[in-house]
Each structure stands twice: as C-alpha cells, then as structure tokens.
Amino acid sequence: MRHGTTSIGDALREFLNKSRMKPRLTEVRIQENWEDIMGKTIARYTSGIQLIDGKLIITTTVAPLKQELSYSKDKIIKLVNEKLGENVVKEVIIR
C-alpha cells in the first residue's frame, strides 16, 4: 500500500467507530450472535436483546431462565465482550 492511502476496510471501520450508528450496529451484532454466545436453549427463550449505554437488556418470560441469567451476569458480560472483541457490555439487566 502506498504512503498516505488507507484500505476501504480500514476507512469503513474508522467511519463506523466515529459514527452514531456504532451502538445500534453493536446491538445487531449481539442479536445475530446470541445463539452462538448463549446456546440454542437460552436463545429460544429470550424474546429481546437490547444494548443501551453499555447495558445489555435481556427480555424473557420464563421465570427459571430469569433466575439463571441473573446468577450468570458476569459470565454473560465476559462472553459477549469476547465474541465482539471489545468491551461494550458493562452491565446486564434481566427483564
């Protein structure tokens, strides 16, 4: 690559990192990878995943799953952040 030039991938990555779209795109990435991160059973019984200001909000109507997820908040943070390759999730809220 010549001096002073940037690849399209690098330019796009830089644009997205500075863009207001980044939080929404990160949320979509979490939603798309939710089954890989948490497994099929948990993914099947969670009805919503949102990311708002570093808070991952997980919605489920299954009471035992709510309890299990409440006990696993630190693990969920670790798994999601590892999957994304950056520290985006700071807190988990179960609804």
pLDDT in tens, 16-45: 777 777 888 899 999 999 999 999 999 999
- Are 23 and 17 in contact by the 8 Å Cβ rule? The answer is no
Instruction: Assess contact for 46 and 59: CB atoms under 8 A.
Output: yes
Q: Which of 81, 54, 35, 55 shows the shortest CA–CA distance to 46?
A: 35
In angstroms, the first-to-last Cα distance of the chain is: 49
For 44-75, write each residue's pLDDT tens digit.
999 999 999 999 999 999 999 999 999 999 99
Domains of the chain: 20-94 (3.30.300.20)
